[in-house]
Amino acid sequence: MIKTLVLGAGHEVGKSCVVLMIGGKTIMFDCGMHMGYHDDRRFPDFSLIPKRGDYTQSIDCIIITHFHLDHIGALPYFTEICGYEGPIFMTYPTKALAPLMLEDYRRVMVDRRGQQEQFSVLQIHDSMKKVTAVDLKQTISLGSDIQFRAYYAGHVLGAAMFHLKVGESTVVYTGDYNMTPDRHLGAAQIDRLKPDLIITESTYATTIRDSKHARERDFLQAVHKCVTNGGKVLIPVFALGRAQELCILLDDYWERMNLKAPIYFSAGLTMQANVYYKLLIAWTNQKVKDTCITRNTFDFKHVSVFDRSQLNAPGPCVLFATPGMLSGGLSLEVFRLWAPFEQNMVVVPGYCVPGTVGYRLVTGKTVTLDADKRIKLEVRCQIHHLSFSAHTDAKGIMDLLRHVSARHVILVHGEKPKMALLRTRIISELGVPCFVPGNGETVEVPSRLVLKVLASEKFLTKSQSNSLQTSIKSKVDDVSAPKRHMEDVSLSSIHDIRSAIIIMDKEKTIQVLNPEEALNVLNVSQHNFLYRCRLPLYISGMNDKDFNAPEVFDRGPTEGNEISGKELMKPSKKCCRGIQEFSGFQQQYDLEDKDAENELIWAERKEQENELELEDKGAENERIWAEHKEQEGIPHSVLEAMVQTVYKHLVKQLGDIVCYKQDNCIVANSVCIKISSEKTQSGTENKAQYIFTCTWSGQDEELARQIISILHMMQIASQASA
Amino acid sequence: MEELVCMHAEYIQNFGSSSPEFKPSWLNPPAFQDYPASFKKALVDDDGVGRANWHLLYRKKDIQACMDQIRCVHYDEEISIYDCLCIKASSSGFELGASNWVISGARCLSYFSASDLTSGHSMALNVASHIKSEVFLFSDLKSNNTDGYDEDLTSCSVKGICENKDKDYPVETKSLSGRCCGGVVHDLLEVSKVVLETILFRGSVLVLVNGIGELMETLEVISQALDNSNLSDVPLFFVSPVAEEILVYTNTIPEWLSAERQEKLYAGEALFRHVELLQQGRLHQLSALCSQETVKVWREPCVVFALNWGLRMGPAIPLMLKWRQDPRCLLVMPETGMTRLALAPFQPVQMKVLHYCRRKLGEMEVSAIIEKMKPELFLVPETMKGEFPSLGDSDSRASRNDIVFYNMWDILTIPAPRYTEADMMAEVACTVHPRQLDSGHSVGKVKVRIQQRGGKWLLDLPKLSQESDDALTEKETICWGTVEVTKLMDILQGNGLCCELHSEGHRNNSEHRIVVTTPSPATVELGLQYTIIETNDLVLRKLITDAVRSLLTFI
């Protein structure tokens, strides 16, 4: 069972924190804080975590998806104040950029708001020291049970989705992701992992967004218009992520349109962030990577650092100010100054948490704003809401879910009514159970159960080479486009169905074996349980001439299409054994007893036989047989020709059943038809009587009947022709 | 690769393109007739083609086409090859991105290329990711065997140079006159000492390196040494057609670097010092030696860094030609065992030669890894045989048979295990109806779909559609036991059949023949390992079949 305890981001956006309990292991995904609250509700309620001593003992590891505060904000609190000492994992960029975010937040809280700090600078650094950085797709093993791997998630630099495997249970936790590439990041990429459970964000559970290109154009035009009219543009952003994307966009536009109005970045912090971005080019999209040799995209030409003295400077400008959502700090301060003027504009990019000024602006509820309890502020400036979120939209969520094809879905990080709608959609369209737990709730889903067994090499490789080659071939053919990765095709499994014997011994070791191997292990030998039927065939009007002339067939027909691709073995003794082994039986037909009317004796198992002896015996038998026939007065060749005719006929009729000929026997699966001739007493010279002795084992009942009826038909046909 | 192509272009530019077939005329078979026999032999191998097999060098577009086919992987990323094999790269610590590989399928094998436990630039050797490997294959180990070295190289060690430090300069030249002097050092600090000394004597230094990571580290150590001696004004040059790309690129790959350098990322600093050196104008990146830019900034003494192309092409050549007669100058190059050959065209060489050799895994390190990881088997090159006394000969381990020495072209077979671990889905287990046997085994039959996922076997329930296709194999049964004639007779007679036992005429007592006369004729032949029922009456056949089955063990 996989138990999912949602500590945060249940029915809300903010303080993401999900605790998974699988097979005695506890893993925490994200450790975020809520931007909309300033009381206890700002952090996840860690006390709900099932206790095994302190937090370090209770939690095996923490995995952080990206550096946004609603995913990492509570980490220093949890490690330094709650005292968690265990391993923490995040990607390299997250580890590099998270301290910036945390420090920025701490400063805003303390310096501007005058609140008591939740954690100190030192604590942030101590907390980050406990972090192990991971690379994308790197498989990390923690102990023998926990394994996880990061996948590119887009969203922000270094954002990752995580695939977690505990024992045989698999979970994908998406964090925030974006299915469409933006100016500096690529789209999320993940394999078809078919996990037991996927926990996905659902910020835009119902929104379907139009093309990004149009939105970019609108944004640029709005800014351009405002600036040419002498207005000031305020873009409240968080230091990392959106700021860089919009900066690339504007810098590019300024270059193209040859605009002169200054673009400012608030505080050195955001400039410092650009240094990190330059180092972490490998985590951006291909275009940025390709151009980084000639010009690093994060070397902005038109962007300069903002100085507080420019606050009241006249003339147009564009200002990126932290924090986003206008939740306080410089951005709110500037907003208060600029908002009352009509020519100015505020661009609110992306999502705003309820409770922030940004949220109220976007929802358009008030034009008057009591930004500071005492002062009523009239907002006259233009407000441009840029649905420019780095979150995927509803279509993206569905695409991802369909691609990953998990067996259960849990939605977090969204608004309750929208999540409910999305849930209905998932259940109806994807047909998988979907849960929308609130904070503090636990969801249990069954996980895949797998038994460890020992399969014999023989069992696994039997006919594997065959199926393997064809499937590899088909896969190779699949890869028409050279850029397509192997992975895309490799999951269509190499498989093949066969029956296995499962043996569990006293030590409870389970072995999976071939039937013949099972007999060996159990130290018994196969009992051949057979049926026999004799079918006399009277063929009149056939003499030596008829047979010897054109009707003698070589093995030609065996190579015909009727055999449908299955490799036909040459009818030699050795190969017969091969085929018999293939069909699961080791048999040997031996013509031993002259008197006992061509009776078939099932010889002993092949392993116990001496091959040389066999060959001799076979040769000897052939000679005896020939002599025997001569004695009976029917030339050997006539009988052989008869066998040929019947064989040819059967091959034709049976289609793709492997059928081969050995001496006077025709063998198909376990059915053996032995053809012998008898001296006829009727006196007519041209009339020969043959006896078909069919022997088969129970499993080939149908085939045997089919063959017998074919032989019957032959008889009727031949009689008719006579 | 691009540098190689550029240099080839330069070569053609300087020396002209060869014959239209891109084959020098002296390599055309007709010309062979006039060559002396020994020369001919060197040119033509046994197959009659031999070295005349002159190959075209690839071009820029070939590089692009080749790179397009490459799939990039991260360290410790598990890649499934058609689901039958799983391969994984893990850092070897030798160069930027250099890897050892773990290949897992039925067995798990680790291949160790040149590795370094501690590295100043790239991520250190990761031993932990080989934990599941059963077989370790070591290659490119450090050998203490010095047979392959040039004699005059080993005769003069770096110590000799260092000891000469305080003596007068002319004395040193005298002692070295007419010979190339060299030694092998493993420590970059030693290298920087010698470089410093050379600079102090107003000699220039040419540093040839094999890898980019090595280049970056050498650059840092030498510039640091110069700083420490207040020689910061000595210019540093990095000459390569791709110098700029290399310098920019190396600063954007924190994931591939050593832990100390990753700390620089977290501190928001440049990953390598060359960024700072470039900004200060001390390091110059030159795309070629003969360019305007070079003329502007060139100043001697200086330290020139270039990639090592065996002293046959590239920027090293003009510099060698310029400095080879100057005993003040120093050449630092990687140790390859081919030094004499490399220096041959430049003889007589007056300049000093110093060999720098990266530390590789030696016997000690390998032993330590083996001790820690305890693989089932490990393979070491035959040439290292003498250097593994502790593993091969010592009494305590005399019995160990887990070490195998290999030679080039050897094919070693590692026995496959008889049983492979596979995963069986719980759903499959539910379909088994096990039968408890007297021997204590439980036996059951089941139909499974066998799949491979990333080198692992998975036994799953067949899909419904596939089930019908294979109706035939489903009926395959195994059964064992012996039918006791009397019991069978009892059952048959109990069912109201009229039957007779014919045991005579058969060779031994274990073979019998039961002839049924009513309700319809039938015979049953019994033996130790077989039963044959012959009848045309289907109902009767069923009856006899059931009777026989009840006496046998079926699965």
B chain contacts of residue A522, beta-carbon cutoff 8 Å: 437, 439, 441, 443, 480
* Gap between the Cα atoms of B184 and B143, Å rounded: 13
Most confident residue range from A102-116, B97-111, B527-541: B97-111
For residue A66, give Cα distances in angstroms to A31, A89, A99, A654, B197.
Answer: 10, 10, 12, 64, 50
Average pLDDT, rounded, for chain A = 74
Look up residue A676 and give its two tokens.
């012998």
pLDDT in tens, B460-488: 777 665 554 444 444 556 777 777 777 88
Tell me which residue in A96, A276, A502 faces B432 most closely, judged by beta carbons: A502
B95–chain A nearest CA distance, Å: 18
pLDDT in tens, A275-289: 888 888 888 888 887
B316–chain A nearest CA distance, Å: 25
Q: Which of residues 34-93 of B touch A (CB under 8 A)?
A: 68-69, 71, 73-84, 88
Secondary structure of residue A97 in the 3-state scheme: helix
A chain contacts of residue B510, beta-carbon cutoff 8 Å: none
B70 band by pLDDT with thresholds 50, 70 and 90: confident
Residue A481 reports pLDDT greater than 60: no
Q: Which one of the listed residues A80, A201, A516, A517 is annotated catalytic?
A: A201
Sequence-ordered list of residues with C-beta below 8 angstroms from that of A126, at least 6 positions apart, any chain:
A76, A79, A80
* Gap between the Cα atoms of A35 and A352, Å rounded: 10
pLDDT of residue B527: 77
Residue % of chain A over a pLDDT of 90: 19
pLDDT of residue B10: 61
**How big is chain B by its Cα radius of gyration, in Å?**
37
Q: Nearest residue of A to residue B468 by CA position? A: A497
B189 band by pLDDT with thresholds 50, 70 and 90: confident
Q: Tokens 């085929």 appear where?
A: A579
DSSP state, A138?
B
Q: A135 vs B266: CB contact, 8 Å cut-off? A: no
Evaluate whether the domain defined by A212-385 bears CATH number 3.40.50.2300: no
A293–chain B nearest CA distance, Å: 6
A112 band by pLDDT with thresholds 50, 70 and 90: low
What class does CATH assign to A2-208+390-445?
A: alpha beta
Listed range (A152-161, B7-16, B62-71) with the worst mean pLDDT: B7-16
Q: Nearest residue of B to residue A602 by CA position? A: B530
Residues in chain A, total: 722
Structural contact between residues B532 and B508, judged by C-beta atoms closer than 8 angstroms: no
Cis status, amide bond into B301, omega within 30 of 0: yes
Residue A29 reports pLDDT greater than 80: yes
B539–chain A nearest CA distance, Å: 14
Q: Nearest residue of B to residue A669 by CA position? A: B472
Q: How many CB atoms lie within 10 A of CB A578?
A: 12
Look up residue B216 and give its two tokens.
């970056």
Residue B327 reports pLDDT greater than 60: yes
For residue B290, give Cα distances in angstroms to A113, A596, B286, B297, B308.
Answer: 62, 100, 9, 12, 19
* Gap between the Cα atoms of A325 and A21, Å rounded: 34
For an interface test with B, the pick among A529, A588, A708 (most B C-beta atoms closer than 10 Å) comes out as A529
Residue A130 reports pLDDT greater than 50: yes
B304 vs B343, more confident: B304
Residue A550 reports pLDDT greater than 50: no
Closest among A411, A326, A288, A232 to A35, alpha carbons compared = A326
Most confident residue range from A146-160, A175-189, A203-217: A146-160
Q: Nearest residue of B to residue A449 by CA position? A: B426
* Gap between the Cα atoms of A356 and A35, Å rounded: 8
Q: A486 vs B437: CB contact, 8 Å cut-off? A: no
Q: B425 vs A279: CB contact, 8 Å cut-off? A: no
Cis status, amide bond into A446, omega within 30 of 0: no
DSSP state, A320?
E
* Gap between the Cα atoms of A4 and A27, Å rounded: 10
Active site residue A201: yes
Q: Tokens 């390299």 appear where?
A: A92
pLDDT in tens, B505-524: 555 566 778 888 877 788 88
B chain contacts of residue A452, beta-carbon cutoff 8 Å: 421-424
pLDDT in tens, A233-278: 888 887 777 788 888 888 888 888 888 888 888 765 667 777 888 8
Q: What φ, ψ does residue A188 adopt, rounded to 5°?
A: -60, 145
**How big is chain A by its Cα radius of gyration, in Å?**
39
Angle, vertex CA A123, rays to CA A122 and CA A126, nearest 5 = 90
A535–chain B nearest CA distance, Å: 10
Residue A313 region, left (φ>0) first, then alpha (ψ -120 to 50), else beta?
A: beta
Closest among B214, B182, B168, B196 to B331, alpha carbons compared = B182
Q: B83 vs A698: CB contact, 8 Å cut-off? A: no
* pTM flag (> 0.90): no
A chain contacts of residue B130, beta-carbon cutoff 8 Å: none
Q: A499 vs B473: CB contact, 8 Å cut-off? A: yes
Q: What is the dihedral of CA B530, B532, B533, B536, to 10 degrees?
A: 160
pLDDT of residue B243: 83
Q: B478 vs A483: CB contact, 8 Å cut-off? A: no
Contact with chain A for residue B476, Cβ under 8 A: yes
For chain A, the domains span 2-208+390-445, 212-385, 451-464+497-526, 529-713
Residue A6 reports pLDDT greater than 90: yes
Q: What φ, ψ does residue A252 adopt, rounded to 5°?
A: -60, -45
Q: A455 vs B459: CB contact, 8 Å cut-off? A: yes
* Gap between the Cα atoms of B406 and A91, Å rounded: 41
Question: If you count DSSP H runs as helices and E runs as strands, how many of each does chain B have, helices first?
Answer: 22, 24
pLDDT in tens, A582-641: 333 333 333 333 333 333 333 333 333 333 343 444 444 444 444 444 444 455 667 777
Structural contact between residues A246 and A235, judged by C-beta atoms closer than 8 angstroms: yes
Most confident residue range from A44-48, A557-561, B442-446: A44-48
Q: How many CB atoms lie within 10 A of CB A57?
A: 13
Most confident residue range from A505-519, A650-664, B141-155, B317-331: B317-331
Q: Which of residues 260-299 of B touch A (CB under 8 A)?
A: 262, 265-266, 268, 270-271
Tell me which residue in B77, B83, B417 faces A493 most closely, judged by beta carbons: B83
Q: Tokens 């319809």 appear where?
A: B520
Contact with chain A for residue B417, Cβ under 8 A: yes
A522 vs A604, more confident: A522
Q: A527 vs B442: CB contact, 8 Å cut-off? A: no
Residue % of chain B over a pLDDT of 70: 74
Tell me which residue in B420, B480, B531 faces A525 most closely, judged by beta carbons: B480
Helix A92-107 and helix A267-279: axis angle, to 10°?
180
Sequence-ordered list of residues with C-beta below 8 angstroms from that of B171, at least 6 positions apart, any chain:
B164
Q: How many CB atoms lie within 10 A of CB B58?
A: 14
pLDDT of residue A427: 93
Listed range (A233-242, A561-570, B222-231, B479-488) with the worst mean pLDDT: A561-570
Residue type, A517: E
Q: A498 vs B445: CB contact, 8 Å cut-off? A: no
Sequence-ordered list of residues with C-beta below 8 angstroms from that of B389, at least 6 positions apart, any chain:
none
